[in-house]
Structure 1
Amino acid sequence: RADGTISLVTGQQTVLEDTGDNVATVVGTHGHSDHVGNFPLSKNSLKRRRKDLAEGQPYPIDDFVSVIPTPGHMGRDVSVLVKGTSEGTVLVAGDLFERCHDEDSLKELSENPQIQETNQQMALQIADVIVPGHGPLFRVHRFVNETENNYGA
């Protein structure tokens, strides 16, 4: 059995991340069945736009929402970046983060742990809140001493 986080982003457009239908845009963060098993074959799915994302180019959905490449867990992972929320910048991260404090499982679950760790560090710099692929959201705490862990519950 597999379960994953499902996120609904409402704003200028409605975006459903990792499964669903009847919305403006559907984003599957990567190809594992726990994230795209119910992925609709809709003209609005980002499945057709993954080439740009795989080449490292963000894909803007509207003024506040964009899909950004975040490989590591798999080679073509993406995350949804939402700016301007009441909580600040939110990153719906798929399995870039399995859950808060996932350092122990990172290497065993990742196709490329080094790239994933680099993208995790980038995410911790740009997001105020992270929604991981398999757990509750967590806040990013920034410290003066950058060698400290930035994860927070």
Structure 2
Amino acid sequence: MNPENKKCDIIVLFDGYSVNSEQGSQSNCTCTLIKGNKNVIVDTMTAWDGPKLEKAIEENGLKCSDIDYVVCTHGHSDHIGCNYLFQNAIHIVGRCVSKKDVYYNFDFAAGKPYLIDVNIRVIPTPGHTLQDVSVLVSTDKGLYAITGDLFENKDDENLWYRLEVDDAELQRKYRSEMLRHADFIIPGHGPMFPAKYKYDQITI
């Protein structure tokens, strides 16, 4: 097998959640591992989650030093907190691509996908913030979209636009596009679900 065509395994290490509390809300993001020709972590939870994230990666046969890319779908603190664990990786935080003190030029604003390998690409999906990105992974089972807070969870039709968002119309547009093209959605604060679960619903 050509190593560039190595199949990807998608492993949701932790399902995200968000619930109201007396203090405000209690939330953490979904954290996903992609194992393949390139190993990728998408969204690294809060800064207090380092030990459990490191353990989960080791339980899946890798070390933090084996991660080639860290992708944070946007820059909110519950999505970037453990980036420090991955010293060997290229970091994509929203539309910012860097390694150590080197910041690379890449024109996400033009709608270009950032190709990690033949099966993994990062695309701009603004709305929740104007810097949001999603990760698309092609597999034998279909196209997986790791979307961060483009989708809060599978039942968020009456919720997502009531949250603090930078551009609700843009978010609505990219939600619709993702549901048309992806087979599975991994949302920012809930378990993975099949895209067709939501596709026929009126408000997307």
In our comparison, the structure showing a higher alpha carbon Rg is 2
Considering fraction of residues, name the structure with more strand. 2
Equivalent AA in structure 1 for residue 109 of structure 2: A
> Deviation of residue 29 (structure 1)?
0.3
Equivalent AA in structure 1 for residue 124 of structure 2: P
> Deviation of residue 37 (structure 1)?
1.8
Once the two structures are superposed, the pairs formed by residues 117-136 of structure 1 within 5 Å of their partners are: 117-136=172-191
The reply on whether 1:149 has 2:174 as its aligned counterpart is no
Q: Deviations over 1:1-57 (max 9, x none)?
A: 431100001111101001274300000100100101222374611232585223321
Once the two structures are superposed, the pairs formed by residues 1-16 of structure 1 within 5 Å of their partners are: 1-16=26-41
Match of 2:160 in 1: 106
Counterparts in 2 of 1:136 and 1:150: CA distance versus 1, 3 Å: farther
Once the two structures are superposed, the pairs formed by residues 47-62 of structure 1 within 5 Å of their partners are: 47-48=96-97, 49=104, 51-62=106-117
Unaligned stretches of 5+ residues in structure 2: 1-25, 45-52, 54-63, 98-103
Equivalent AA in structure 2 for residue 26 of structure 1: V
> Deviation of residue 150 (structure 1)?
8.4
SS at match of 1:119: helix
Q: TM-score w.r.t. structure 2 length?
A: 0.65
Equivalent AA in structure 2 for residue 45 of structure 1: H
Q: Percent identity?
A: 39
Task: Name which of 73, 78, 82 aligns with 1:29.
Answer: 73
Q: Deviations over 1:81-117 (max 9, x none)?
A: 001x243100011011010021211222222111001
Unaligned stretches of 5+ residues in structure 1: none
* Counterparts of 2:144 and 2:32, CA distance in 1: 11
Aligned CA RMSD, in angstroms, stands at 2.4
Which 10-residue stretch deviates more, 71-80 or 21-30? 21-30
Counterparts in 2 of 1:70 and 1:135: CA distance versus 1, 3 Å: same
Q: Are the aligned partners of 2:27 and 2:189 in contact in 1 as well (CA < 8 Å)?
A: no
Q: TM-score w.r.t. structure 1 length?
A: 0.86
